[in-house]
Amino acid sequence: MAVAAPTQTMNNVEAVRATLYEALKADPRTIVLGEDVGARGNVFLITKGFIEEFGPERIVDTPLAEASIVGIAVGMAMEGLRPIAEIQFADFIYPAFNQIVGEAAKTRYRSNGDYTCPLVIRTPYGGGVRGALSHSVSIEALFYHVPGLKIVAPSFPADIKGLLTSAIEDPDPVLFLEHKRTYRLVKGEVPTGRYTIPIGKADVKRAGDQLTVVSYGLYVHQALDAAARLEGDGMSIEVIDLRSIRPMDKGTILESIRKTRKLLIVHEDNKFGGIGAEIAAMVAEEAFFDLDAPIRRLCGPDVPAMGYAAPLEEEFMISTEQMAETMRELVRF
Amino acid sequence: MSDTAVANMPAVTNEQSLTLLRNMLLQRAVDSRGFQLNRQGKIAIAMGSEGHEAAQAGTGLAFERGQDLLYPYYRNTGILLACGFPLADLFRSQFARVTDRTGGRSIINHVTAKGLGIASISSIIAAQCAHAVGAAYKLKYLKETGRAVFCQHGEGATSEGEWHEAMNFAAIHRLPVVFVCENNRWAISTPQSKQMVNQDVAAKAGGYGMRGEIVDGFDPIAVYQTVREARDRAANGGGPTLVEAQCYRFLSHTTDDDDRTYRSREEVETQRKLDPVPRFERRLVEAGVINEAALAALRAEVSATVNATTDAIEAEPLPPAAGLYGNVYEGPDDPWA
């Protein structure tokens, strides 16, 4: 008699928490460091109780100093520990830019492999939580230009567990982005026990043959809702969750486009120079003659950030209705 | 040795004094050679550390090989050599040969030698201070007592936020790290007076609840004693120290700089009179540690060694263009999976 693999229902916070817990249990070289990760258990309670179980040497409440949260983690990683640094909100990562881009991403390269930097930097990003200018930004485009870094942004609990485990075990620095709006909104079944999902592998969350939608983060969930609505109108839409931003899964994107012949890219980050620009350029280079419609992008507007007032935030965020409307236009094109 | 002897300081044997002297002579010869090679068009840039010889020889002698970890900065030829970095590899870095430990990727003196405990660095000032503290955290976390981290930097670095953050974290956790500031008074063209109000960098240590020490950076024995004491304290759970070795940068910042545009010849000449290399030679001769004939032989040996190494390394090939690729990640460079 076949027995289904045991699973557990979790939201995204619980998935991050369970994965960190298992990593700390599995490897004494693993250190969690960041602001308020100890007694407070992280501002989203992801590490609640960890300091009691693993001690203050492994769950390190750092001073309020983002550059050195990453910089100290780089030194730990260079000397063989497996640090998991937390930047409390992605908006606070800017002081650490040099340590991420100038140091972590270049350690292996500049030493020609003598030193490596197996480091994970976790940070919650994204809007829809009334976080305004400094608690809502998307930062991925600032970093995905950087060789030497990996960037992962899953938004389903099972993907979070598999990819965070991969990130922690990865021999190179990984920026692990957690969309904070999905933290408690998104729930799903998560296999128990250790497993990994390879970094750089997208996932077709919904199969279809009239339009390919590529997204990541919160908007994958909305895109799935929109696609489900359009199914009633006889439209068949494929939704790809990138999950990894660098490296990015070219094969899954191209395979889908060669089937659907149309592409819509949806992301919350600003449009100009965003992830969608690179995807569109790649598709134009590699699959131009497979396309039956211009590539479309639905992205955040090119303003510095979403405002605090509800109408300003709503104007920044893309609604499921907007997604459905654009999908409808493309299918009918 | 009595002029710098301090109570309870580690004693210095004659053998150690000669080690200090040879390192200083070698450092000066290597740096001079770098400038010559640049003027000959053989290397793209050189950065000399003339005036730092005593500070670096003393610090390097305090470094416990096989135990300690060095997070250097870019003007550290003498320390690298004193910590066991091979002279040939220093020239491989200068000539950017295929045999260079970074494969010709990193600019001169930005070396790497994990097996020797010598960390890879960038040129970003004070970035390595945070790394040094992370390394020290590891030693403490794994209870590897008897080991310490050396974090090298100049006085300009103390203006950087990452220096402050590193000092603060090291003090909070009483980490086994020694911050050695080689205060040469100049950050390219910016004098110390425009870098800070403090007369002494070491005074900043108090703001972190850390011990701060000032030492004559022209006196290798004093530097050794002060840094070694700090190193031993750190290695045995006594917490970090900031040691300020007060020295001077005799040369321009690099071969691409011209210090005549921002500081007077009189200032440089005044400092030159305190040149630590001939001063230490005289001191050892007067103390009977070395005689004139042996000193001449030592100088000749250093010169011959540097000449032979220069010739040997110059003959080695440059890296192939393909050396640009690889070691971006453990896996493929390609951003597309």
Q: What is the pLDDT of residues B166-223, one digit of tens each?
A: 999 999 999 999 999 999 999 999 999 999 999 999 999 999 999 999 999 999 999 9
What chain B residue is nearest to A71 in terms of C-alpha separation? B130
B199: which DSSP letter?
A: S
Contact call for B334 and A247, based on CB within 8 A: yes
Q: Per the omega criterion (within 30 degrees of 0), is the bond before A247 cis?
A: yes
What chain B residue is nearest to A96 in terms of C-alpha separation? B162
Nearest to B337 among A99, A109, A201 (CB): A201
Q: Is B67 at the interface with chain A, CB within 8 A? A: no
pLDDT tens, residue by residue, A115-136:
999 999 999 999 999 999 999 9
* Integer Cα distance of A24 and A22 in angstroms: 5
- Indicate which of B67, B101, B329 best probes the interface with A, i.e. most A CBs within 10 Å of its own CB: B329
Residue from B137, B173, B262, B263 carrying the catalytic annotation: B262
- Residue A3 has a pLDDT of 65
Going by C-alpha positions, the residue among B238, B255, B250 that lies closest to residue B276 is B250
Contact call for B132 and A75, based on CB within 8 A: yes
- Residue A101 has a pLDDT of 98
B162 CB neighbours in chain A (<8 A) are 67-68, 71, 98-99
Contact call for B134 and A147, based on CB within 8 A: no
Using DSSP, state whether A176 is helix, strand or coil: strand
Contact call for A71 and B166, based on CB within 8 A: yes
* Integer Cα distance of A241 and A262 in angstroms: 16
- Residue B13 has a pLDDT of 96
CA angle A62, A65, A68 (to 5 degrees): 85
- Residue B10 has a pLDDT of 75
- Share the mean pLDDT of chain A: 97
| H or E element that contains A276 | helix A275-287
* Integer Cα distance of A92 and A68 in angstroms: 12
Q: Grade residue A2 by pLDDT with cuts at 50, 70 and 90.
A: low
Q: Grade residue B149 by pLDDT with cuts at 50, 70 and 90.
A: very high
DSSP, residue by residue, A208-262: -SSEEEEE-THHHHHHHHHHHHHHTTT--EEEEE--EEESB-HHHHHHHHHHH--
* Integer Cα distance of A58 and A53 in angstroms: 10
* Integer Cα distance of B190 and B153 in angstroms: 16
Surface-to-core class of residue B304, CB atoms within 10 Å of its CB (0-12 exposed, 13-18 middle, 19+ buried): exposed
Using DSSP, state whether B182 is helix, strand or coil: strand
* Integer Cα distance of B96 and B314 in angstroms: 9
CA angle B289, B292, B298 (to 5 degrees): 80
The question of whether B262 is a catalytic residue gets the answer yes
- Residue B5 has a pLDDT of 45
| Domains (range + CATH), chain B | 5-312 (3.40.50.970)
Strand A120-125 and strand A82-86: the pairing is parallel
At A249, list the tokens: 């899964």
State phi, psi for B335 to the nearest 5 degrees: -70, -15
- Indicate which of B71, B99, B108, B120 best probes the interface with A, i.e. most A CBs within 10 Å of its own CB: B120
Q: Residue B240 pLDDT > 80, yes or no? A: yes
Looking at residues A236-241, what average pLDDT do you find?
98
Using DSSP, state whether A191 is helix, strand or coil: strand
Using the Cα atoms of residue A317, residue A323, residue A325 and residue A331 in order, give the sign of their dihedral: positive
Strand A59-61 and strand A30-34: the pairing is parallel
| Domains (range + CATH), chain A | 7-191 (3.40.50.970), 203-331 (3.40.50.920)
Output the CA–CA distances (angstroms, integers) from residue A275 to A300, A313, B121, B173, B275, in the order listed. Answer: 11, 21, 31, 40, 57
Surface-to-core class of residue B183, CB atoms within 10 Å of its CB (0-12 exposed, 13-18 middle, 19+ buried): buried
| 8 Å CB contact between B67 and B231 | no
Residue with tokens 């369970």: A18
Nearest to B327 among A83, A95, A108 (CB): A108
Which of 10-29 (B) contact A at CB < 8 A?
none
Contact call for B102 and A72, based on CB within 8 A: no
- Indicate which of B108, B172, B327 best probes the interface with A, i.e. most A CBs within 10 Å of its own CB: B327
At A262, list the tokens: 């149309």
The question of whether A135 is a catalytic residue gets the answer yes
C-alpha dihedral (B64, B68, B72, B77), degrees to nearest 10: 30
| Shortest CA gap B282–chain A (Å) | 40
pLDDT tens, residue by residue, B103-128:
999 999 999 999 999 999 999 999 99
* Integer Cα distance of A47 and A34 in angstroms: 11
Which of 88-147 (B) contact A at CB < 8 A?
101-103, 105-106, 110, 112-114, 119-120, 122, 124, 127, 129-139, 141
Nearest to B138 among A81, A102, A147 (CB): A81
pLDDT tens, residue by residue, A242-285:
999 999 999 999 999 999 999 999 999 999 999 999 999 999 99
Nearest to B120 among A68, A107, A282 (CB): A107
Instruction: Provide the edge-to-edge strand list for the sheet that holds B211-216.
Output: B69-71, B149-154, B177-183, B241-246, B211-216
